Amino acid sequence: MSTPTDEIGTKLTFRKYDDGDYEWGSMHDMIFVEDTSHKCPTYVHKTPPCQGSCPSGEDIRGWLGIVRGMEPAPEGMDWQEYAFLRSTDANPFPSQMGRVCPAPCEDGCNRNEVEDFVGINAVEQFIGDNAKEKGYKFPAPPPVSGKRVAIIGGGPAGMAAAYQLRRMGHASTIFDDHEELGGMMRYGIPGYRTPRDFLDHEIQRIIDMGDIDVKLNTRVGKDVSLESVEEEYDAVLWALGCKSGRPLPCPGSDAENCVSGVAFLEAFNQGRLHVTANRVVCVGGGDTSIDVVSVARRLGHIEHINPKDRPELVVHGYVAHDAAHTAAREGADVTLTSLFPKADMTAAEHEVSDALTEGVTILDGVMPVLVVQDENGRATALRMARCEMVDGRPTPVEGSEFDLEADLIVSAIGQGGDLEGLDGFDNGRGLIDADKYYQVPGKEGHFVCGDIIRPHLLTTAIGQASVVAETIHEYMSGAEHARRPKVDVHHFDLLDKLKEVDLSPDGFDPAGEHSTEDARRGTNTDNRAVHNYEDRSAHEIIPSDELFLGHFGYEPRLRREEVVPTSEEVLGHFQERVLCLETENAQAEAGRCMSCGMCFECDNCVIFCPQDAVFRVKKDAKTTGRYVDTDYDRCIGCHICSEVCPTGYIKMGLGE
């Protein structure tokens, strides 16, 4: 029988791994039998599953290690800035992503096998918010190469690409058809989830790197010809995003008061929509639909609204509400419908729970079959039916139809691109095709990233931007595209770390002074190479069964405070939802990280080695990834060090 969720948080004896997993069998077998393998410990770096699950490929273990105090900052830099620099190596928006990313990294976290995942999002928000407070800047980029890239779209993908390209020495110009940069972070997510002062700061920090020009209210293919862009720039990156919502797939969906979720949210985020309708029905189940119903509950409605101020006219862009409307608004009846059960909705579980707290009604396992209209063609209800999956497609259950009365119907069932004037790039589905290097097939010098390939998460778009920046760099440099690693993330590099702390190997010259056989032997006795270390991070992600879970005691997750209004409080409630951890709590939460695939200096191997073969590296030679070493004259291959290594960093190798 499984343990209830509430007991996991309160029953401190609960363990997710089986009783006895932390116990050895026969000590005699471990010491006197295992040594017949002739194997000795080697130190193997692997990618942790949090990072392997992160579409941006952030070095999560790395910046958690800095926050917890495991990896010290370089001389003259505080640990907060060092954590910021490590975090933003992959993702320049820690404040935003720490708030709104659905955190697939937390789903992948091996700590789930002990009690609960590490609050990675919470620590990332702390890093980002602290960086704004302290005014941290990105390091000065290298001189410009003379190459300039046109980036079409100033959302998370386009901005992240401009950032990564500038770090490589390339200038760019960002074209965006809005009044402000930010894309979906600004126009698709409410401000109480992505506070605009933090968003503006993180965008400006990228622009401040220099040689990143911005052309707003400019649409390529309309205001500027594609031909002129191709002539002026060395490469073109399409990061348009997807801002066209899909209509409901049922008759009557073209009624005037049927609108898309993205258009609804854009009207709200632009400050044009101040009230909504009395009865709002949103069809969806994903994050966009949750934002729609949460906004609708906050906006409320006006009982006797002038027909020219109806919300659908605002959403369609014909008019804008006067802020004075808010004085007379009342609560709205808001319903969210989903094809799937609540537990299977694509929206984050806590977002669904928050919507219920705010007074949203959720009907699951249903599908729309007809928009009911009056004699003027205006929608008055949405006819629904219970549904079941037949051959992977939702199918209405005969005789289960019912009507949901509605004054405004919102479709949040998916998004598409707007490629008007760019027909040569449309793959027939309103999207742009990409190859494995994010080049546009058949379009020399054109590249693509983000939702316009396939709508997905903000973090996915940012990760693609990092890869495509490398592709563009190789293209403009005339280099062959390097093969992408199997685990394609921003890896910790021990050689870079050794260089940072002035501990780089002396080097090895097989044709010169090290040409003799004797001179080529014995990296354990000199500093020509990193001794007894193997980096498998580009190929392997370390699973929980390679860790010694018995090392880790129960440590409850330190949760951020969340401001979720009740159904009685929600009207007009626009204060920030997720509050930042205090410094001490951020450090404590980072301390729950199990440092999978990397030594975190627990000393287990040193303490339990029966031969004193494993020893600490001298203080003046140690750094992250080089804390312990092995004297092979003493080692008998007993395997104990690898068995008690909590992080799975020690493997038995070097023998048959």
pLDDT in tens, 586-639: 999 999 999 999 999 999 999 999 999 999 999 888 899 999 998 888 888 888
SS3 628: strand
Write down the H helix ranges in 233-385: 261-269, 287-299, 311-315, 349-357
Please check whether residue 367 is in contact with residue 396, taking contact to mean a CB–CB distance below 8 angstroms. Answer: yes
Residue with tokens 């985020």: 269
547 CB-near residues (< 8 Å, 6+ apart): 110, 594, 596, 645, 646, 647, 648
Residue 499, Cβ neighbours under 10 Å: how many?
A: 12
Could you report the per-residue pLDDT of 136-187, keeping only the tens digit for each?
999 999 999 999 999 999 999 999 999 999 999 999 999 999 999 999 999 9
pLDDT at 13: 47
> Please, what is the end-to-end C-alpha distance for the chain in angstroms?
43
Rounded Cα–Cα distance for residues 572 and 323 (Å): 12
Helix (H, G, I), strand (E, B) or coil at 261: helix
- How far is Cα 299 from Cα 302, in angstroms, rounded to an integer? 10
Do residues 562 and 579 touch, judged by C-beta distance below 8 A?
yes
Predicted confidence (pLDDT) per residue in 417-432, tens digit = 999 889 899 999 999 9
Place of tokens 């729309």: 368
Q: Give every CB contact of residue 499 below 8 A, 6+ residues apart in sequence.
A: none
Fill in the amino acid letter for 298. R
pLDDT band at 22 (very low <50, low <70, confident <90, very high): low
Give the number of C-alpha atoms closer than 13 A to the C-alpha of residue 450, restricted to the C-beta side: 31
- Rounded Cα gap, residues 232 and 40, in angstroms: 60
Is it the case that residue 240 has pLDDT exceeding 60?
Answer: yes
Closest to 501 (Cα-Cα) out of 36, 4, 160, 77: 77
Q: Which two tokens stand for residue 34?
A: 């295992």
Closest to 190 in 3D by CA, of 96, 56, 321: 96
Report the C-alpha dihedral over residues 596, 600, 601, 605, rounded to 10 degrees.
0
Return the beta strands (E) in 505-644 as ranges: 533-535, 614-616, 628-630
- Residue 33 gets which letter from DSSP? I
- Compute the distance between CA of residue 22 and CA of residue 192 in angstroms, rounded to an integer: 45
pLDDT at res. 637:
85
Q: Which domains does the chain have, with CATH numbers?
A: 5-136+492-653 (no CATH), 148-244+417-477 (3.50.50.60), 246-414 (3.50.50.60)
Give the model's pLDDT for residue 21.
Answer: 55
Burial of 304 (0-12, 13-18, 19+ CB in 10 A): exposed
pLDDT above 70: percentage of residues in the chain: 91
CA dist 268 and 274 (Å) reads 7
Which pLDDT band holds residue 371 (cuts at 50, 70, 90)? very high
Helix ranges (DSSP H) in 399-511: 458-477, 494-500
Tokens of 363: 């009907």
The Cα–Cα gap between 581 and 448 comes to 36
Q: Hey, is 534 helix, strand or coil?
A: strand
Give CA separation, 218 vs 44, 147, 222, 316, 393, in Å.
51, 22, 8, 20, 40
Which among 436, 473, 438 is positioned nearest to 164, based on CA atoms? 473
Q: What is the mean pLDDT of the chain?
A: 91
| Residue 317 burial (CB count, 10 A) | 12
Residue 189: which of 99, 126, 120 has the closest Cα? Answer: 99
More confident: 511 or 190: 190
Cα-Cα-Cα-Cα torsion 577, 582, 583, 589, nearest 10 degrees, comes to -70
Residue 304: predicted pLDDT: 85
pLDDT of residue 423: 85
Say what the pLDDT of residue 621 is: 87
> Two tokens at 335?
């319903």
Is the confidence at residue 81, as pLDDT, over 60?
yes
Better-scored residue on pLDDT, 2 or 437 = 437
For residue 578, pLDDT over 60 is answered with yes
**CA triple 600-605-609, angle to 5 deg:** 170
DSSP 108-172: H-GGGGTSS---HHHHHHHHHHHHHHHT--PPPPPPP-S-EEEEE--SHHHHHHHHHHHHTT-EE
Closest to 509 measured CA to CA, from 518, 519, 499: 519
Three-class HEC string of 447-474: EECCCCCCCCCHHHHHHHHHHHHHHHHH
513-563 confidence digits (pLDDT tens): 655 655 555 666 677 778 788 999 999 999 999 999 989 999 999 999 999
Averaged pLDDT for residues 356-367: 96
pLDDT at 12: 47
Q: Which positions ≥6 away from 542 have C-beta within 8 Å?
A: 46, 47, 48, 49, 110, 596, 597, 648
473-500 pLDDT per residue, tens: 999 999 999 899 999 999 999 999 999 9
Is 3's pLDDT higher than 50? no
pLDDT band per the 50, 70, 90 thresholds, residue 328: confident
Q: Is 51 helix (H, G, I), strand (E, B) or coil?
A: helix
Of the candidates 457, 352, 412, the residue with the CA atom closest to the CA atom of residue 104? 457
100: enclosing H helix or E strand: helix 94-100
> Which is more confident, 200 or 506?
200
One-letter amino acid of 115? E
Distance, CA of 126 to CA of 522 (rounded, Å): 45
Alpha helices in 224-300 (DSSP H): 226-232, 261-269, 287-299
Contacts of 360 (CB under 8 A, 6+ apart): 293, 294, 297, 334, 335, 336
Which pLDDT band holds residue 392 (cuts at 50, 70, 90)?
confident
Q: Which residues of 132-170 are buried (b: 16+ CB within 10 A; e: fewer)?
A: beeebebeebeeebebbbbbbbbbbbbbbbbbbbbbbbb
